[in-house]
């Protein structure tokens, strides 16, 4: 990440929410940065963070090979907040007792605050929080005190009596926790004394410097999808290096209706950025022939994208970099970037990339979330039609078709997608939803159309509300809207005789089906 005089350091123990912690801190206009759990003490001392947050993680502190830290961290005088595994590790290293819990807490819980100072200053006595743990602290370390409990956790939060060491068993960073940002604010600004001063315009200025220094006089190819992420990246890089950037939009045959026309209009006519459109649909569909496994789909799509870009790069003198709109949710779900987090699914632009590439990657928004990228786009002056578009997966409709991707299935899904989008826009709900889209299911069900038996496929509609894509709740769409979408799909899309609605939240489901 970029530099800042005052910052909060997040040490990553493998939590899926590590970057969400950093994001919440940045919401307070305080710079934050993630480093792996084994980040050297000497580097922490040298960089002087105002506070340190220990993330959660999937391990148990007493397991062989569990991620550890040097306990000297707690003697630096720097305020430390341990979250979930981070609190358990703090207790374990400072001579407390951590044991497996008889009842695993996962999901909503209530905590009862015993000390409304410091971490819980100016907050209610009872809070609804989000738990996710199988262990608990049986005995707090010497010189610590319990400052909150829950029904299943005798130590829902603790603090050292003299040193600025705090721990919470729950996750204040997720939206499911009441006053979660207030708790983090108390730690960041109240306990750590960090001053707000980091803003998106700072990110732009420092990013431009980094891009110019790294690229030099070479050229950059930007893999443009037409979505928010790659559009913002293209605009940012163009601001940094101007005509050294060429955007390539690949028609992979997996796009929505009119996608190519819209991208040409926005980037060629409005933003005046050098744009090349490559028709590679046949190659992508050939690669996907017979492929059912979603991981294999993503890897083949990622590999083909690189092949296309590198082939085009040969035609552009001095091309050395491939720029992508990779975001942190892509990274954290695909690979263990800075900590031992588990892989959820490979994204075509992260885990789907081949190991050997001739082009060097340039990913200037890799540490940002979608809403932060939209703010960045606003600062850069991008038009609303680009900034307010719902997220669209890099692999396109391929990961919204369960099973094999065929031309026939793609045509069905495109028609259903156009209907869903039209109806959502007509209902004036588009901007209040994070995403809404149809999914093609390879199921055959019996139906009746025109007094005749049918045996056709199924469309599932998915609509979610979210602030960052890391967690999401299914959207309670009005029944008349659901009825309108269903009726139109059944009447206008040949090959579909049943429409269902997905009411799964993330977690445990992901937003996309594959």
Cα 178 to Cα 126: distance, rounded to the nearest angstrom: 10
For residue 92, CA distances in Å to 85, 116, 138, 222 come to 10, 25, 10, 47
Tell me whether residue 176 is one of the annotated catalytic residues: no
The rounded distance, in Å, linking the Cα atoms of 148 and 125 is 9
Task: Say which residues have a Cβ less than 8 Å from residue 361's Cβ, sequence separation at least 6.
Answer: 321, 322, 323, 324, 353
Sequence-distant (6+) residues with CB within 8 A of 3 are 206
Structure tokens at 79: 């305020």
What pLDDT, on a 0 to 100 scale, did the predictor assign at position 347?
Answer: 44
Burial readout 454-463 (b: 16 or more C-beta within 10 A, e: otherwise): eebbbbbbbb
The one catalytic residue among 105, 173, 423, 456 = 173
The catalytic residue among 33, 105, 160, 171 is 171
Going by C-alpha positions, the residue among 134, 135, 160, 130 that lies closest to residue 147 is: 160
pTM over 0.75: no
Q: Which of 33, 35, 84, 105 is catalytic?
A: 84
Res 327: pLDDT: 81
* Strand duo 126-139 + 157-160: pairing: unpaired
Sign, CA dihedral 448-452-455-459, equals negative
- Nearest Cα neighbor of 150 from 97, 215, 104 is 104
Active site residue 347: no
pLDDT computed for residue 329 by the predictor: 64
The per-residue pLDDT for 357 is 64
Please report how the helices 200-215 and 370-380 are oriented relative to each other, as an axis angle in degrees rounded to 10. 80
222 is catalytic: no
Other CB atoms within a 10 A radius of the CB of residue 269 amount to: 9
pLDDT (0 to 100) of residue 335: 41
- Report yes or no: 189 and 22 within 8 Å, Cβ to Cβ: no
Residues of the chain with pLDDT under 70: 1-5, 102-105, 133, 328-357
Peptide bond into 508 cis (omega under 30): yes
């Amino acid at each position: 990440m970029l530099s800042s005089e005052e910052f909060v350091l997040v040490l990553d123990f493998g939590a899926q929410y590590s970057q969400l912690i950093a994001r919440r801190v940045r919401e307070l206009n305080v710079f934050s940065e993630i480093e792996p759990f084994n980040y050297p003490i000497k580097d922490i001392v040298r960089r002087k963070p105002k506070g340190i947050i220990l993330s959660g993680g999937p391990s148990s502190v007493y397991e062989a090979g569990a991620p550890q830290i040097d306990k000297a961290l707690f003697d630096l005088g720097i305020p430390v907040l341990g979250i979930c595994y981070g609190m358990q590790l703090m207790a374990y290293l400072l001579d407390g007792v951590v044991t497996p819990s008889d009842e695993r807490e996962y999901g909503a819980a209530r905590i009862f605050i015993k000390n409304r100072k410091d971490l819980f200053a100016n907050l209610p006595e009872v809070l609804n929080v989000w738990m996710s743990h199988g262990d608990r602290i049986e005995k707090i370390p010497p010189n610590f005190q319990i400052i909150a409990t829950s029904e299943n956790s005798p130590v829902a939060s603790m603090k050292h009596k003299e040193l600025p060491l705090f721990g919470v068993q729950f996750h204040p960073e997720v939206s499911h926790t009441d006053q979660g940002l207030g708790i983090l604010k108390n730690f960041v600004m109240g306990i750590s004394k960090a001053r707000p001063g980091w803003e998106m315009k700072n990110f732009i200025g420092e990013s431009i410097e980094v891009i110019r220094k790294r690229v030099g006089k070479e050229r950059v190819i930007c893999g443009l999808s037409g979505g928010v992420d790659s559009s913002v990246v293209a605009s940012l890089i163009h601001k940094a290096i101007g005509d050294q950037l060429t955007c390539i939009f690949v028609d992979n045959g997996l796009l929505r209706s009119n996608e190519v026309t819209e991208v040409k209009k926005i980037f060629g006519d409005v933003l005046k950025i050098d744009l090349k459109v490559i028709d590679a649909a046949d190659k992508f569909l050939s690669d996907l022939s017979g492929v059912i496994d979603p991981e294999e789909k993503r890897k083949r799509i990622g590999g083909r994208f690189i092949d296309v870009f590198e082939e085009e790069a040969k035609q552009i003198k001095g091309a050395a970099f491939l720029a992508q709109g990779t975001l942190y949710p892509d990274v954290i779900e695909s690979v263990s970037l800075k900590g031992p987090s588990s892989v959820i699914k490979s994204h075509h632009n992260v885990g789907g990339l081949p190991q050997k590439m001739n082009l060097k990657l340039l990913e200037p928004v890799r540490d940002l979330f979608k809403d932060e990228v939209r703010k960045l786009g606003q600062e850069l002056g991008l038009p609303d039609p680009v900034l307010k578009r719902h997220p669209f997966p890099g692999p396109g409709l391929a990961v919204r078709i369960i099973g094999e991707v065929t031309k026939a299935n793609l045509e069905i899904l495109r028609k259903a997608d156009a209907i869903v989008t039209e109806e959502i826009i007509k209902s004036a709900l588009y901007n209040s939803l994070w995403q809404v889209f149809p999914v093609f299911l390879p199921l055959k069900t019996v139906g009746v159309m025109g007094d005749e038996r049918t045996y056709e496929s199924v469309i599932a509609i998915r609509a979610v509300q979210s602030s960052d894509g890391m967690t999401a709740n299914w959207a309670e769409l009005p029944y008349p809207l659901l009825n309108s979408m269903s009726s139109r799909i059944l009447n206008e899309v040949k090959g579909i005789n049943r429409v269902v609605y997905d009411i799964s939240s993330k977690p445990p489901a992901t937003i996309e089906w594959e």
